[in-house]
Amino acid sequence: MFQVDAIRWANSHLWWLLLLPVLLVPIWIGYEAWRRRVARSLTGRSLVPSMISGASAWRRATVMIAIFCALELAAIAAMRPRYGLKEISVSGLGIDMAIVFDASRSMKVADLVPDRFTAASVEIGRLLERSKGNRVALVPFAGIAFIQSPLTVDYGVIRQYLADLHVHDLPVPGTNISRALQVAAKALGVDDENPRGSRYKAILLFTDGENHEGDPEAIAEQLAKKNVRIFTIGVGTQNGQPIPILNERGAVTGHVRDTDGMTPVLSKLNEELLRSLASKTGGSYHPLTANQDVATNLAAELEGLEKAEYMARVDRLLEDRFQYPLAGAIFFMIVAFLALGGSKPRKISGVLALLLVFTAQGANAQALLERNHPGVAAAIKQLEAGSFGDAAKALGELTEELPSRPDLWYNLALARSAAKDYPGALEAIEQALTSFDRARELHPSWPTKAKLLHAKGTILALMASSQDSKPAKEVRNTWRQAVEALAQALIADPDSQDTRRNLEIASLVAYPSCKSLDDQYEPNNSPQDAKFLMLDPNTMEFKEELLLCPKDLDFFKLPLNPGETLFASVLAPADESGQTQQGQEQQGPKPADVDLSLHESSTPTKQVRHTAKSDEIVTLMISGPEREDGVSYVLQAQVVPACPQGDDQFEANNTPDAAKVLEDGDISARICPGDDDWFSYVEKKGEQRQVVLEYSNEDGPLELDVLQADGTNMDVTSQDDEQGHRRVVQLPKAEQDASFLIRVYGGGLEGFYKLSISKGDGGGGQNQDDQQEQQPDAGSKTMKEQLDAIDSNSENLEAQEAANQSPYRDHVPDKDW
């Protein structure tokens, strides 16, 4: 039923137009009074009416009333009345999900490291890092369940609740999954009369699956009918372990025993129930094991759900009704012309001219208010029908024809965004803003500046959410651009709740705390919390990009057997653009902005080396500057076995007859005690080369011999400093191809070294002058380059013994050197 108070006015500030027709009333009254006065002043009153031309009094009154009504209705049309609702689709940014967390005593079983409860807490934290704007509720449960946190986009609150939650906090023991699912449904609001949020909602159930009461499968079937999907995460193993007994502080004091008082009661993972709950609702089951990245897999599934089910929501907007008062104004103006009187041709001409004028005005208003261009209506229909590609193509052609209209660019941005062409959408919305700013006159039908900025921020947010394959820093920069645009939109329209909510969501992702971005090794901020580095079993290497947060230290540890050598370094991450300058490639990897040391008391540096004299666990400490987003770095480590298993790829080259052929360039090698390294080199005719041996202060001392074909031993120049040692032999210029034997030996010692053959400087073996450019020493060579050449063999007796003693236990990598 029509209600006057339901009308809304788009141009309510034009209310003063309603007063203009009122000014005609005194003018008309004055005219009629003047006419009467004139008529009375003339003699022969009976002849006056026939002498005065013009319409009769009733005609004049009819014309005046018609013009008054026409002007009033035209003023009402100019104020753009809106009545009734029409539905349009706009983009959303997340889904609603409830994390249902089993906090019963069985979650303290230690069949996961360190126990089920802690392992699940860590995985939930990792999942929150990947959630990207979803609203999250937290529902812990045991024998009872409760909503600890309602739906929120403040993940810091969820993390704090998880940190403060303990198994002994819940007063009723047991495991009631049915009740937990019901409480989670309440937290998601699925039973509300007018449910809000995403169409599909998700429940993430972290539990071992042991259910002591209720029928969770029946609850799952009910939730499936309400568009709730359950994703189950199995926490534990099928073999299980004894259930611990906890004191009031949560410490383990023993284990639950069977009725015989001897047999421990085991808690085992109930995968069958968890798979059933997931399958009944269209969700999925994920076992929480060491080789499963549950957080990433869940985030991917939720992301798919978001894009498929919640990337569009329906908004209701008031519909323009200006056409009706405008049509009334045209009608009354026609009446006024007809009532004026006059000859028939004049009447017809006047009516046609009036119709022509008002038709033009109506077309102009339609262009302003309803985008009158013939192609616009068709393009908008395609957009509303979901044909985003066709709509984008049509609108693209229209913007070429009418490039100064921001409303067309705006619609083109919406079409491209709906088609997931976010770069194209961003380009279009930028053009819309430019056209808006350059316009001399703003038409009422155009989107406001606030609306354009809101669209820009939302497009940037959608673009950022789709950039999973790009570096995290680049994605955060895109989110921050979205925050900037949305903040400008909110300044332009402070009452926009949609802009405020999107700004809140984007801000959480754009400016996360460094702790939320930190790596999977956290917490490792003290020597006691140091995490073991898992080396590749084939190369005995570790290389991973990590993050150091402000006011934090990162500690790692590695077990070493006697004679094993650890090389570790910190490098800057690769250029996120994927481009590397040629000069940087020649110089090698760039050091990171963090420092590395073997322990808290040692001097920080960029690379360290340590050889174990006995069985030990080496601790590495990473320190660095305080930055809001933290400092990214690449930690690279490699363990080289003791001699002879850790000898280099050139073995066996222990005699002149077994000498390995060298070419110009550098090699990295290792010498073992009593095991000389022999090489051969042929200097080409007309060339002059020099042979350089470099090794650090931790190696050797090592010596270099270069023998000519007749056995003559050439002069060696020594260059020693705090950085390391160099042995240089200047070869004579070859009159013809000349052969040389090169020997590196340590006199019973061992060490890593670099051997270089390059163009000679013609110095005849003179010591290097202090003013000359210093050649890089062995210590400046990156650890990776020094060790790449080290070969392997099948003798691996030490690794077998290390497997029995290492804290890695069964996970010790086989050292196939």
Read out DSSP for 699-751? S---EEEEE-TT-PBPP-EEEE-SS-EEEEEEPPPPSS-EEEEEEEE-TT--E
- Is 792 inside a domain boundary? no
Residue 13, judged by CB atoms within 10 A of its CB (0-12, 13-18, 19+), counts as exposed
* Number of helices and strands in the chain (H, E): 22, 30
Query: Is 152:136 a contact under the CB 8 Å cutoff?
Result: yes
The residue among 489, 512, 535 that closes a domain is: 512
- If asked whether residues 105 and 237 sit together in one domain, one would say yes
Strand partners, 675: 672
**Backbone φ, ψ for residue 778 (5° rounding):** -60, -30
- If asked whether residues 465 and 502 sit together in one domain, one would say yes
User: How many CB atoms neighbour CB 674 within 10 A?
Assistant: 14
Query: Is 11:78 a contact under the CB 8 Å cutoff?
Result: yes
Q: 439: which 2 tokens? A: 């316009």
Whole-Å CA distances, 658 to 66, 330, 461, 650: 117, 108, 64, 10
Query: Is 741:679 a contact under the CB 8 Å cutoff?
Result: yes
Is the pTM above the cut of 0.75? Answer: no
Q: 460: which 2 tokens? A: 């940037």
- If asked whether residues 65 and 154 sit together in one domain, one would say no
Query: What would you report as the CA-atom Rg of the chain, rounded to the nearest whole angstrom?
Result: 41
DSSP state of 657: G
DSSP state of 605: B
DSSP state of 570: E
CATH assignment at residue 593: 2.60.120.380
Q: Which residues contact 705 (CB under 8 A, 6 or more apart)?
A: 713, 716, 741, 742, 743, 745
Write down the H helix ranges in 511-630: 514-517, 582-587
Which amino acid, one-letter code, is at 477? N
DSSP state of 257: B
- If asked whether residues 346 and 295 sit together in one domain, one would say no
**Could you tell me the maximum CA-CA distance found in the chain, to the nearest angstrom?**
154
- Is 434 inside a domain boundary? yes
- Is 183 inside a domain boundary? yes
Q: Residue length, the chain?
A: 817
- Domains of the chain: total: 5
- If asked whether residues 661 and 759 sit together in one domain, one would say yes
Provide the pLDDT for residue 92.
46
DSSP state of 591: B
- Is 797 inside a domain boundary? no
The residue among 640, 670, 704 that closes a domain is: 640
Provide the pLDDT for residue 279.
93
Q: 703: which 2 tokens? A: 């010596």
Over the range 125-149, which residues count as b (16 or more CB within 10 Å of their CB) and which as e?
Answer: bbbbbbbbbbbbbbbbbbeebeebb
Distance separating alpha carbons of residues 165 and 170, to the nearest angstrom = 9
Q: 23: which 2 tokens? A: 């000014």
Domain that holds residue 280: 93-310
DSSP assignment of 357-418: HHHHHHHHHHHHHH--SHHHHHHHHHHHTT-HHHHHHHHHHHHHHSTT-HHHHHHHHHHHHH
Query: Is 372:366 a contact under the CB 8 Å cutoff?
Result: yes
Provide the pLDDT for residue 515.
66
- If asked whether residues 577 and 631 sit together in one domain, one would say yes
CATH assignment at residue 150: 3.40.50.410
Smallest CA-to-CA distance from 621 within 549, 553, 569 is with 553
Sheet holding 8-9, edge to edge: 8-9, 81-91, 312-320
As averages over each run of 10 residues, the pLDDT of the chain (817 residues) reads 67 83 83 76 57 64 84 87 61 78 88 85 89 85 82 82 78 80 89 71 92 85 90 90 78 77 84 93 90 87 61 52 85 79 51 44 39 63 72 81 84 84 90 86 82 91 83 81 82 76 77 66 84 85 86 87 87 59 50 76 79 88 79 87 72 84 87 84 90 84 88 87 86 89 82 86 45 40 44 40 38 36
- If asked whether residues 148 and 75 sit together in one domain, one would say no
Provide the pLDDT for residue 286.
94
Quote the Cα angle for 125-131-133, to 5°: 125
The residue among 588, 612, 640 that closes a domain is: 640
Q: CA 120: distance to chain centroid?
A: 23
Distance separating alpha carbons of residues 151 and 189, to the nearest angstrom = 10
- If asked whether residues 347 and 384 sit together in one domain, one would say no
- Is 454 inside a domain boundary? yes
Give, to the nearest 10 degrees, the angle between helix 406-418 and helix 449-465: 20
Write down the H helix ranges in 538-673: 582-587
CATH assignment at residue 507: 1.25.40.10
Query: Is 88:18 a contact under the CB 8 Å cutoff?
Result: no
Which amino acid, one-letter code, is at 411? N
The count of C-alpha atoms lying within 13 angstroms of the C-alpha of 813, restricted to the half-sphere facing its C-beta, is: 21
- Is 563 inside a domain boundary? yes
User: How many CB atoms neighbour CB 705 within 10 A?
Assistant: 18
Smallest CA-to-CA distance from 128 within 244, 296, 256 is with 296
- If asked whether residues 172 and 270 sit together in one domain, one would say yes
- If asked whether residues 405 and 340 sit together in one domain, one would say no
- Is 804 inside a domain boundary? no
- Is 124 inside a domain boundary? yes
- If asked whether residues 184 and 293 sit together in one domain, one would say yes
**Backbone φ, ψ for residue 766 (5° rounding):** -70, 150
Q: Specify the 3-state DSSP secondary structure of 444.
A: coil
Q: CA 518: distance to chain centroid?
A: 14
- If asked whether residues 157 and 284 sit together in one domain, one would say yes
Distance separating alpha carbons of residues 136 and 770, to the nearest angstrom = 65
Provide the pLDDT for residue 271.
92
